[in-house]
Amino acid sequence: MEQVSISRLVLRRLRDVMAGQGTAQDRLNTIVRIIAADMVAEVCSCYIMRAGEVLELFATEGLRPEAVHRTRLQVGEGLVGAIAASARPLALADAQSHADFAYRPETGEEIFHSLMGVPILRSGRVLGVLVVQNRTTRHYSEDEIEALQTIAMVLAELAASGELVNPLERQQPSGTGQLPARLEGVKLNGGLAIGQAMLHEPRLVIRQVVAEDTGAELDRLRHAVDAMQIAIDTLLEASDVLRDGEHRDILETYRMFAADRGWMHRITEAVKGGLTAEAAVQKVQSDMRIRMNQMTDPYLRERLADLEDLTNRLQQHLAGRPFAPVAAELPEEFILVARNMGPAELLDYDRSRLKGIVLEEGSPNAHVAVVARALDIPVVGRVKDALDRVEPGDIIVIDGDEAAVVLRPSEDVQQAVDNRIKARQGQRAQYAALADLPAESKDGVRVELLLNGGLFIDLPYLDETRAAGVGLFRTELQFMLRDTFPTVAQQAALYHRVLEQAGDKPVTFRTLDVGGDKLLPYMDSIADENPAMGWRAIRIALDRPAMLRQQLRALIQAASGRLLRVMFPMIADLSEFTAARAILDLELDRQRKAGAELPVKVEAGMMLEVPVMLWQLPAMMDRADFISVGTNDLVQFLFAADRGNPRLTGRYDPLSPPVLKALGEIVRAGAARNVSVTVCGEMAGDPIEAMALVGLGFRCLSMAPSSIGPVKAMIRSLEVGTLAEFMGSLTEIPSPSLRGKFQDFARDRGITI
């Protein structure tokens, strides 16, 4: 309670300074003095981001004044640089012993031992770093970190105002803007389009951070929320998104988020703490961003984009200016360029004119990408500096399949693109025509194509794609959508619905793969240093067996009278599988004793995604009823390369001799013991990688719905015998990537990839 009132008082003083006279530099100087006094710190310094990712000391209380505008640190350099790089706060009682500490003699900071710093964030971008330091080895509390973060919000407005650093400084040198350029990214939705660039900039500048009248702010907030909810309802009623499909579930979840009480509660609390409604909305968003930014789980990252979308929308309603682009003012055909977008933001635009989307962020499971897929709009994500490099009105080509964006293409490139767009329309018709044909190669080898899913929306694709079943049902996704841990009855109802919708087709349920970075809102979070290799999946399940028991009980109940296929993730030791299977048997027994109808058959599988299992394949095959190879994790662990780290994207190729060798051993071990082996990682859904898997001998592939058509087209144009022969000597080639060889092979033999 006391903490709130202290920071509230300071907030008022800061407001007065912000509204007061003098230059931005004067105001900043005063602000660091106020903070130092309030935080009882000998030092308070503010670093501001300049061009070239340089953090410059702009103001300080306590360090030597001559260091101001002289001390500069690269992002990632020193503790200040580390805070900017991670966009997270840092508090150290003994900063100098930290590995990242970078000593700058001009500052005279050698006498200060403890340090607490927070990023100055705005719209997800780090604009600077705010630091306090003390002589003693002081342990800063969570409340103090929180208070400094709130103050950093005030500074964010100053930093973003353009009064400290000219915003033009961050842009490209003049002249380069006019040249054609090719930017690479990540494919979020395939397809090819051309159009004029339009920048999606829904964010509003917050003018006032501290409230004059908290009651009035709460009223404004309530009205804006009501108006927003009505507007969202109207938006989601549009006819082209009304039909069923994956996108529909995402939009419904989005609508649910807009009414989420937890979100509202946090905003209301922030208003009660002294902020304006706008600042409170922004603060809650920043807090969420910090919490979620480090997560590698694509699904959770997408929740963040949903929230950002809602935040922008709520801000617009607070400002009384809901975003509504006027169709007549839009170019005939345009490509949206944005940092990121939520699923509903895209619906604000006229779909007959919106031809493609370029994002600086985004992941393949991006909700905006799912909605774009439903509307057949190509999307390329993770395009670095897209917003800085594109001028509104530029002609842009977006090539989703190549994950590339071409800015200001020449006339002949534009012509070639037009021709290809026409050819692609023909190819689409070809996939549709394949739907009823089997995934069988030219030499008669059948491959079973299965779907990956985790939400109800994935199930209609079983029919649409004629997939043979669900090869991987990621159960954790349903858990993540909820506020509380679902009861056995709730889980059973859910799994039952999944099985009902799948009809005769088998569904392989994977038990909860949570923990590490995939946190459930209602589970105690633990800060794992290395989440992918941390306390996750089967490790949590065996340490907290009640959770696993309940899930297995629900699965058994849901599958009564049917086949139950369940698999356990991240097995790193066969005893883990044995223990999990024993729990399954226990639950079956319990169900039997209760006199309930059991599943007609139960199959227990193991996910192979930890490299150590490669040296115990026969024993593994002896124990499991089936194996599913999670190449996403397996490959990241084989290369020791974090799968979620964009800096490592594309650095190592799974189509390399060692990975193919390992996969070959798995498929051979399965065949030797007659155990079915499926691949359910992303490799299975990429035509060229799937081709290599088929060549190795894999006959079951589980993938995203959109991959079924392309993978089937590949298989139907392939001669497996010739491929296997070709691959015979390939794995001995000392090369980091065999991709080129596979591509040549496919091209020479007319294989559709």
Residue positions annotated with a catalytic role: 367, 680
Distance CA 693, CA 710 (A): 15
Q: How far is the CB of 94 from ligand PEP (least distance, A)?
A: 37
Contacts of 201 (CB under 8 A, 6+ apart): 338
Find which of ligand PEP, Mg ion, none residue 183 binds, CB within 5 to 8 Å per kind: none
Query: In this structure, are residues 170 and 388 in contact, taking their beta carbons and an 8 Å threshold?
Result: yes
For the window 192-231, what string marks contact with ligand PEP as x by the rule CB under 6 A?
----------------------------------------
Distance CA 691, CA 653 (A): 15
Q: How far is the CB of 633 from Mg ion (least distance, A)?
A: 4
Closest CA to 204 of 266, 305, 282, 260: 282
The only residue of 161, 229, 293, 632 in contact with ligand PEP, by rule CB under 6 A: 632
Alpha carbon 207 to its chain centroid, in Å, reads 30
Q: How far is the CB of 467 from Mg ion (least distance, A)?
A: 20
Find which of Mg ion, ligand PEP, none residue 109 binds, CB within 5 to 8 Å per kind: none
Q: How far is the CB of 553 from ligand PEP (least distance, A)?
A: 23
Find which of Mg ion, ligand PEP, none residue 516 binds, CB within 5 to 8 Å per kind: none
Query: In this structure, are residues 192 and 261 in contact, taking their beta carbons and an 8 Å threshold?
Result: no
Distance CA 362, CA 308 (A): 12
- Is there binding between residue 680 and ligand PEP (CB under 6 A)? yes
Q: Closer to Mg ion at the Cβ: 608 or 696? A: 608
Q: Closer to ligand PEP at the Cβ: 38 or 633? A: 633
Q: Closer to ligand PEP at the Cβ: 122 or 536? A: 536
Q: Closer to ligand PEP at the Cβ: 349 or 473? A: 473
Q: How far is the CB of 695 from Mg ion (least distance, A)?
A: 23
Q: Closer to Mg ion at the Cβ: 124 or 364? A: 364
Q: Taking CA 514 as the corner, what is the angle to CA 511 and CA 518, rounded to the nearest 5 degrees?
A: 145
Q: Which stretch, 74-82, 374-382, 501-509, 624-632, contacts ligand PEP (CB under 6 A)?
A: 624-632
Distance CA 197, CA 175 (A): 18
Q: How far is the CB of 504 from ligand PEP (least distance, A)?
A: 24
Q: How far is the CB of 163 from ligand PEP (least distance, A)?
A: 46
In 237-276, alpha helices (H): 239-242, 246-258, 261-272
Distance CA 703, CA 152 (A): 44
- Is there binding between residue 302 and ligand PEP (CB under 6 A)? no
For the window 534-563, what string marks contact with ligand PEP as x by the rule CB under 6 A?
------------------------------
Tell me the CB-side half-sphere exposure of residue 494, using CA atoms within 13 A. Answer: 24
Query: What are the angstrom distances between the C-alpha of 188 and each of 362, 399, 556, 579?
Result: 8, 10, 36, 39
- Is there binding between residue 609 and ligand PEP (CB under 6 A)? yes
Q: Closer to Mg ion at the Cβ: 117 or 515? A: 515
Q: Which residues contact Mg ion (rule: CB under 5 A)? A: 609, 630, 633
Q: Which amino acid is at 58?
A: F
Q: Closer to ligand PEP at the Cβ: 633 or 689? A: 633
Q: How far is the CB of 702 from Mg ion (least distance, A)?
A: 12
Closest CA to 194 of 412, 427, 428, 405: 405
Q: How far is the CB of 465 from ligand PEP (least distance, A)?
A: 18
Q: Closer to ligand PEP at the Cβ: 280 or 472? A: 472
Query: In this structure, are residues 542 and 573 in contact, taking their beta carbons and an 8 Å threshold?
Result: no
- Is there binding between residue 306 and ligand PEP (CB under 6 A)? no
Q: Rounded to the nearest 10 degrees, what angle do helices 277-293 and 261-272 cross at?
A: 120
Cβ-proximal residue to ligand PEP, closest one: 630
Distance CA 44, CA 140 (A): 14
Overall size of the chain counted in residues = 753
- Is there binding between residue 92 and ligand PEP (CB under 6 A)? no
User: SS3 for 378?
Assistant: coil
Q: How far is the CB of 572 from Mg ion (least distance, A)?
A: 12
| SS3 readout for 407-473 | ECCCHHHHHHHHHHHHHHHHHHHHHHHHCCCCCECCCCCECEEEEEECCHHHCHHHHHHCCCCEEEE
Q: How far apart are the first and last CA of the chain?
A: 62
Contacts of 328 (CB under 8 A, 6+ apart): none
The only residue of 516, 644, 681, 695 in contact with ligand PEP, by rule CB under 6 A: 681
- Is there binding between residue 531 and ligand PEP (CB under 6 A)? no
Q: Quickly tell me which residue has 């984009």 as its tokens.
A: 305
Contacts of 566 (CB under 8 A, 6+ apart): 508, 509, 510, 511, 552, 555, 584, 602, 603, 604, 605
Distance CA 71, CA 332 (A): 49
Q: Closer to Mg ion at the Cβ: 344 or 538? A: 538
- Is there binding between residue 513 and ligand PEP (CB under 6 A)? yes
**Phi/psi class of residue 349: alpha, beta or left (left: φ > 0; alpha: ψ in -120 to 50)?**
beta
Q: Closer to ligand PEP at the Cβ: 508 or 631? A: 631
Q: Which stretch, 69-77, 365-373, 460-468, 630-638, contacts ligand PEP (CB under 6 A)?
A: 630-638
The only residue of 117, 245, 516, 630 in contact with ligand PEP, by rule CB under 6 A: 630
Q: Which stretch, 242-250, 275-283, 539-547, 628-636, contacts ligand PEP (CB under 6 A)?
A: 628-636
Q: Which stretch, 76-84, 184-192, 197-205, 631-639, contacts ligand PEP (CB under 6 A)?
A: 631-639
The only residue of 345, 361, 633, 689 in contact with ligand PEP, by rule CB under 6 A: 633
Residues 472-501 that bind ligand PEP (CB under 6 A): 472, 474
Question: For binding to ligand PEP (CB under 6 A), which residues are involved?
Answer: 472, 474, 513, 609, 630-633, 680-681
